[in-house]
C-alpha cells in the first residue's frame, strides 16, 4: 500500500473520530441506535445543546439541536434518546429547572408506559412542550398553591394534635396544666378589662368635664401669660430688694457689734490695769492682804494656831465628855484613868 493511500485512510479515520467526538459532546452517539423526538417551546430559557433528557431522574438522552422558527418565534428542540425506552404518544417534554443554581433539564412525563408497541411514539414524533418555572419545578405540580395547601393540612394536623394533647380538658402533664392556668388568667384579665371598661363608661362624663376644665384653665393661662410674666418679674425685683435690705441691715448690725466689742476690749484693758496695780501693791506689802503675804512670822503663828485648833477638834471628837457639858477636874481625871485602863487591857 502506497503512502498516499495510507495518508488518505488516516485522514478519513481522523475526520470520522472528530465527527464522532463532536456528536458525542453534543449528546448523540453515531455508533449506537437512537431515536429522535421533537418539541416546540415559546421560550427555552437558555437550554443548550447537550442539556440532559431525564425520565424519573435518570438521564436517557440529551438535546441534540435547537432551531428558531422565524414565522412564529417558537423554538424547536431535538431530543436524541440513547436508550430504548417505550414512550407513549401523549408524553410531555417538560423544560424544568432542576436546582436553585439554574441547572436545566428536559423531563419526559407520562401517566402509563405503552405496552407491546401499541400507542408507543415512533422515531421523529413531536411531543407536547411544557415549560415549568423554578418554584413549580421544586414544588412539583400545582406549584406554590399546592405546597401551601400541603402546608395548611400539615399545620392543621399539628394544631389538632396540640389541641388534643394540651388544650383539651382531659389533657395531662405540666404543659397542659400551664395552658389551663393561662386560660384562667386570660379569663380573669378579660373580666377585669370588662370591669375597667364599665368604670370608664360610668366615669366618662366626669372625666370629660375634668378635661374640659383643664382645657379652659390652659386657655386662661395662655391668655394671661403676659400678666403672669409681669408678676414673676415684679416678684423677682421685690425678692432682690428684700435681699439687699437684709444685707444692709446685717452690715449695720455687724458694725454695731464691732463697736460694742471694741468698747468691751477697752473696759477689759482698764480692768486688767487695775488688777496689775493690785498685784503690785500685794507684792510691795501694802494693805492687810499685802502684810499677810509679806510677814513670815505672822504666817508661822497662824500655822501653829491652825495646828492647835486641829488638835483641839480631834480631842473634842474623841473625848467629848471632857467638854460637853463642862465637868469638874476630878471627874475628868476619873475618865482619863478609865480610858488608860481600857487601853492597857
Kindly report which listed range (6-20, 135-149, 305-319) carries the lowest average pLDDT score.
135-149
CB 92 within 8 A of CB 108: yes
- 200: helix, coil or strand? helix
User: Is residue 265 domain-resident?
Assistant: no
Write down which residue in 119, 138, 157 finishes a domain: 138
Establish if 260 belongs to a structural domain.
Answer: no
Instruction: Quick: pLDDT tens for 197-207.
Output: 888 777 777 77
Establish if 187 belongs to a structural domain: no
Residue pair 54/60 in contact (Cβ under 8 Å)? The answer is yes
Q: Can you name the residues that pair with 35 across neighbouring β-strands? A: 81
Residue whose C-alpha cell reads 378635661 in the numeric block? 211
Q: Is residue 100 part of a domain?
A: yes
Q: What mean pLDDT do residues 156-169 have?
A: 68
| pLDDT tens-digit readout, 57-66 | 888 999 999 9
* Averaged pLDDT of the chain: 77
* Residue 242 is assigned to a structural domain of this protein: no
* Residues 6 or more apart whose Cβ sits within 8 Å of residue 164: 171
- The more confidently predicted of residues 158 and 295 is 158
Which residues span the domain enclosing 326? 296-344
Distance CA 328, CA 302 (A): 31
Q: Which of 97, 120, 138 is the last residue of a domain?
A: 138
Residue range 88-106, pLDDT digits in tens: 999 999 999 887 787 889 9
Contact residues for 104 (Cβ-Cβ < 8 A; gap 6+): 45, 46, 47, 51, 95, 96, 97, 98
Q: Is residue 185 part of a domain?
A: no
Give the pLDDT band (50/70/90) at residue 125: very high
Last residue of a domain, one of 103, 123, 138: 138
Q: Residue 81: which of 120, 44, 32 has the closest Cα?
A: 32
Cell digits for 185? Answer: 388568667
What pLDDT sits at residue 40? 94
Per-residue pLDDT at 95: 92
- Report how many domains make up the chain: 2
- Name the band, by pLDDT with cuts 50, 70 and 90, for residue 37: very high
Q: Where are the alpha helices (DSSP H) in 140-224?
A: 143-162, 174-223
Decide if 329 is inside a domain: yes
Amino acid at each position: 500500500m502506497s503512502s498516499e493511500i495510507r495518508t488518505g485512510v488516516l485522514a478519513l479515520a481522523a475526520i470520522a473520530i472528530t465527527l464522532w467526538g463532536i456528536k458525542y459532546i453534543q449528546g448523540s452517539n453515531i455508533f449506537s441506535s437512537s431515536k429522535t423526538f421533537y418539541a416546540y417551546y415559546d421560550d427555552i430559557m437558555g437550554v443548550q445543546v447537550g442539556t440532559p433528557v431525564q425520565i424519573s431522574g435518570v438521564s436517557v438522552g440529551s438535546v441534540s439541536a435547537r432551531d428558531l422558527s422565524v414565522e412564529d418565534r417558537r423554538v424547536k428542540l431535538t431530543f436524541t434518546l440513547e436508550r430504548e425506552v417505550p414512550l407513549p404518544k401523549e408524553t410531555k417534554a417538560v423544560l424544568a429547572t432542576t436546582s436553585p443554581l439554574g441547572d436545566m433539564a428536559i423531563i419526559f412525563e407520562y401517566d402509563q408506559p405503552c405496552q407491546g408497541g401499541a400507542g408507543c411514539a415512533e422515531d421523529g414524533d413531536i411531543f407536547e412542550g411544557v415549560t415549568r418555572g423554578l418554584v413549580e419545578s421544586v414544588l412539583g405540580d400545582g406549584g406554590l398553591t399546592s405546597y401551601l395547601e400541603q402546608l395548611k393540612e400539615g399545620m392543621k394536623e399539628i394544631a389538632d394534635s396540640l389541641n388534643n394533647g394540651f388544650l383539651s380538658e382531659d389533657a395531662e402533664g405540666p404543659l397542659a396544666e400551664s395552658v389551663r392556668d393561662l386560660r384562667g388568667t386570660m379569663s380573669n384579665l378579660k373580666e377585669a378589662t370588662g370591669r375597667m371598661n364599665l368604670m370608664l363608661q360610668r366615669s366618662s362624663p366626669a372625666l370629660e368635664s375634668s378635661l374640659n376644665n383643664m382645657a379652659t384653665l390652659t386657655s386662661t393661662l395662655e391668655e394671661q401669660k403676659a400678666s403672669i410674666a409681669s408678676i414673676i418679674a415684679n416678684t423677682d425685683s421685690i425678692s432682690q430688694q428684700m435681699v439687699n435690705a437684709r444685707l444692709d441691715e446685717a452690715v449695720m448690725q455687724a458694725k454695731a457689734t464691732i463697736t460694742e466689742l471694741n468698747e468691751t476690749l477697752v473696759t477689759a484693758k482698764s480692768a486688767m490695769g487695775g488688777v496689775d496695780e493690785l498685784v503690785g501693791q500685794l507684792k510691795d506689802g501694802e494693805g492687810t492682804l499685802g502684810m499677810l503675804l509679806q510677814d513670815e512670822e505672822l504666817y508661822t503663828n497662824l500655822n501653829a494656831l491652825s495646828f492647835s485648833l486641829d488638835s483641839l477638834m480631834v480631842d473634842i471628837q474623841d473625848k467629848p465628855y471632857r467638854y460637853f457639858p463642862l465637868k469638874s477636874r476630878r471627874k475628868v481625871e476619873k475618865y482619863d484613868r478609865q480610858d488608860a485602863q481600857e487601853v492597857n487591857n
